[in-house]
Chain A
Amino acid sequence: MKTIMRRVLPGFGLSLGISVTYLSLLVLIPLAACVVKSLDLSWEEFTRAAWSPRARAAYWLTFECAFIAAVINLALGLVVAWSLVRYRFPLKTLIDALVDVPLALPTAVTGLVYASLYVKDGWLGHFLTPMGVEVAYTKLGIVLVLVFTGFPFVVRSVQPVLAELDADEEEASAVMGASRWVTFRHVILPHLLPPLLSGFTLAFARGVGEYGSVVFISSNMPFKTEIAAVLIVSRLEEFAYREAAAVAVVMLGFSFVLLALISVLERWSQPHVK
């Protein structure tokens, strides 16, 4: 049907031209330039720059924190989405609106505020520090800001699916004597898996790329709290362009893999997610 449309509907050439030109100029050519720059390095130099213990520690930390944060978001997001869909409670509309704040709040503001809240004598820090919980400048801090930035993705993926879930299956399950928990595990959860996973992946991808808020709250120590983006900046400041580009290329590779994963997941959960 669509091939017929090309003959009938106008604007194929124009929209193709605009899309491809813009995509190439803004995204593809610059990214290709980055790859080319890193190819100036010999293979040994490339591995030394992009796969050194320090670089590996940075990738590992980046993915570890993004993963932990996404897992936390999975649980919190499900709880919040469940409450918002199933229960009535005061300030519900406000809470529903506040879920989206992380999407709109600039990352620099997030970092500034979180660092100021969780330092030793910050609003929250002076409760937590005596209990031995240190958030600012630790891995915990990185995870926390990533939980913040990724939080809306899970809630917003799960919410519509949960709202449209059919009551019959649940009723049937209850009639047959299943406990509420068994009903949840075996009847409701299977429906929620695709949106949960797609929310998880989006939150994870966002966490892997996050820079602005992390750089404020992390102590940026090599091997300990230095994320890959900070490593790139740090290499850049040492005039090591090609080495910075090499690390960037590895991150780009990860981005592509993630992207493929997201599109597969989205296709899988298509009927559920807008």
Chain B
Amino acid sequence: MSNESASHGATVPQPAVAVESFQPRSQARKDPAWVQWLLVGITYLVIGLLVAVPLVHVFHQAFSAGIATYFSKLLGDKDTLHAIFLTLMVSPVAVAMNVLFGLAAAWLIARFQFPGRALLISLIDLPMSISPVVAGLVFMLVLGLQSPVGQWLREHGWQIIFAPPGLVLATAFITFPLVARELVPLLEAEGVDEEMAALSLGASGWQMFWRVTLPNLRWGLLYGIILCNARAMGEFGAVHVVSGRISGQTDTLPLRVEKLFQEYDIQGAFAAASVLTLVAILTLIGKALLERKVHKG
């Protein structure tokens, strides 16, 4: 991207202005007024109907019986509270697993050339295009009681499927590429000079990693974590297959939303949904703040 604008920049008197400013520089770039009105109108309509109305609707439904009811639905229901707790336990573990992988994969891909590198890059994206239901199904097939592995686990007193570890695995699968995808291009852009300098000054590999590599990646990493966490907390399809839906035990918050809805507790369902929506909104705010840092750095 930077190459592109730079090569053009040689022939353009003031490239920086054209790039930085969102305003058309001359009359030639101005669209007719009716086109502007039309396009902006469509934008309002699309974002309004597609995004804003549903968001407002969630909170409107959740608070339709008053704030007191809202909080009693949310905090007075043991199973909903447990669902929140479970979601707060499961997602961070899944995200942490993906962070570990993301760092390793980014280091590997951005710093080394080896046979199978292109394949690895493609495989990282694989879970993105797999239906969550298939993801749930494969874990069921591998770890369920029908398989030898599942039998072995049961004989040794482990319960993976229909227990939190199964939820962690399914969630980690779905959000697998999100951290690595952020880190690889960032690390590639970073270059190796600082790291080489650290090594030549006698730093060990770990010292170099903690003091040079990781600090340089910090905002990108945080960005990946935030996105990964949002997806992890909201995962439905894969978790639905491996959860067993035991109230107060293996119901995550999205599953709880469905269950409350089916138990005629519409307000409860929307109250739970509003928590998830709030997480989504906070994620976006965090993302917007970080985007500035990432792009500056």
Contact = CB atoms under 8 A, between A and B. Distances in A.
A and B touch in the complex (CB under 8 A): yes
Interface of A: 2-3, 5-6, 8-12, 14-16, 18-19, 22-23, 26-31, 33-34, 37, 76, 79-80, 82-89, 95, 97-110, 112-114, 116-117, 123-124, 147-148, 151, 160, 163-164, 166-168, 170-171, 173-175, 180, 205-206, 208-212, 228-229, 232-233, 236, 241, 244-245, 248, 251-252, 255-256, 258-260, 262-263, 271-274
Contact of A245 (B31, B137, B204): B137
Contacts of A173: 28
Contacts of A211: 131-133, 236-237
Interface in B138-168: 138-139, 141-142, 146-147
B173 interface: yes
Contacts of B32: 180
25 contacts: A2-B111, A2-B112, A18-B105, A23-B124, A27-B127, A27-B173, A37-B141, A89-B40, A98-B51, A99-B51, A101-B51, A108-B258, A108-B273, A108-B276, A112-B269, A123-B53, A124-B53, A148-B51, A166-B12, A166-B18, A174-B28, A205-B129, A209-B131, A232-B133, A251-B130
B205 A10 contact: yes
Contact of A27 (B100, B133, B176): B176
6 closest cross-chain pairs (CB), A and B: A106-B234, A10-B205, A2-B113, A212-B236, A174-B28, A211-B237
B173 to A, nearest CB: 6
A34 to B, nearest CB: 4
Contacts of A82: 39
Interface residues of B, number: 114
A229 B131 CA distance: 7
Contacts of B276: 105-106, 108-109
Given A23-B124, A76-B46, A167-B29, 18 more contacts: A10-B205, A30-B138, A83-B42, A86-B24, A86-B29, A97-B284, A101-B281, A104-B281, A109-B280, A123-B53, A180-B31, A208-B129, A209-B131, A212-B132, A212-B240, A251-B134, A258-B129, A272-B4
Interface of B: 1, 3-5, 8, 11-12, 15, 18-19, 22-29, 31-32, 35-36, 39-40, 42-44, 46-47, 49-55, 57-58, 61, 97, 100-101, 103-105, 107-108, 111-114, 120-134, 137-139, 141-142, 146-147, 169, 172-173, 176, 185, 192, 195-196, 199, 204-205, 208-209, 227, 230-231, 233-237, 240-241, 254-255, 257-258, 261, 269-270, 273, 276-277, 279-281, 283-285, 287-288
A271 B111 CA distance: 20
Nearest to A20: B120
Q: Is the contact region of chain B dominated by helix, strand, or loop, or is it mixed?
A: helix
Nearest to A33: B142
Contacts of B112: 2, 5-6, 9, 12
Contacts of A160: 1
Contacts of B196: 8-9
